[in-house]
Amino acid sequence: MKYMSKVSAGLILVTLLIGLCSFVSKKEKPTLFLIGDSTVKTGRGDGSNGQWGWGSFIGDYFNPQHIDVQNKALGGTSSRTFYNNPKLWQQVLDSIRPGDYVMMQFGHNDGSPIVDTLRARGTIKGNGDAYQEVKNPLLGQNEMVYSYGYYLRLFVKNIQDKGATAVICSPIPRNRWEGDKVIQSDYAIWAKEAAEQAGAFFIPLQDLVIDDYEKRGKEEVGKLFFGPKDHTHTIKAGAEVNASLIADYLAKNPAIGLKKYLKK
């Protein structure tokens, strides 16, 4: 009986050690969460409608043995609706652990109406602390609506409180031109301001993409990266280019902390 007790105790100890090692191993492997709108993840993220977000390809640049990449973006969302929907941001937030990363890109839908019966997803333009109390017809209750930059800063605060790293991307540009120049968005300015105020890292994705587009020219960009009837959502080639630009920026800016997880 004493022998059996020793054997049982030994087995329990081994099991506990294995479990501990597994736990430590999981903790040492961080997760990169992606949040945003359809330009990050279109539909299910499988290109079923011919459109792709860059979040479907950014994971290809990371070593899966060293980091997990989870694309939690959802088409149609703004910074406001993603933050306020408990099935979206709260679920991501509950999964964040110290040492993780959250990369966000919003803006394309933030310019929508603040109050309407379709989506009620708009935010106040800018990066200030202004707010507006509205009657949200979709929720059937009053709601305090803040600025685009304010919501980004809320995300960052939540992320930092979890001991994780926040990375804000300016929104990719639409395929709209004035002559040989791509039209820029003020949301890129506000995204940068929000990142600076909140102490988050910033990726000037709009600038990176525009630089690439203008080198190629309007005709080539329209032919290679967009469908004939859509100036916002990229097809596969466009999403792949956007993902490569982000990966290249991460490789050139090691302070963000993600360079060490990129494939060699």
Distance of CA 122 to the CA centre of its chain: 18
Q: Please pick, among 68, 207, 212, 230, the residue that the annotation labels catalytic.
A: 230
Q: Can you name the residues that pair with 35 across neighbouring β-strands?
A: 104
Classify the phi-psi angles of 4: left when phi > 0, otherwise alpha if psi is within -120 to 50, otherwise beta: alpha
Q: Can you name the residues that pair with 101 across neighbouring β-strands?
A: 32, 165
Give the list of residues 6+ apart from residue 205 with CB closer than 8 angstroms, or none.
Answer: 105, 169, 170, 171, 172, 188, 242, 245, 246
Q: Please pick, among 38, 56, 78, 185, the residue that the annotation labels catalytic.
A: 38
Active site (annotated) includes residue 22: no
Active site (annotated) includes residue 37: no
Place of tokens 């022998």: 3
Place of tokens 């081994």: 14
Q: Please pick, among 37, 56, 108, 233, the residue that the annotation labels catalytic.
A: 233
Contact call for residues 206 and 170 (beta carbons, < 8 A): yes
Active site (annotated) includes residue 230: yes
- Which residues are identified as catalytic? 38, 230, 233
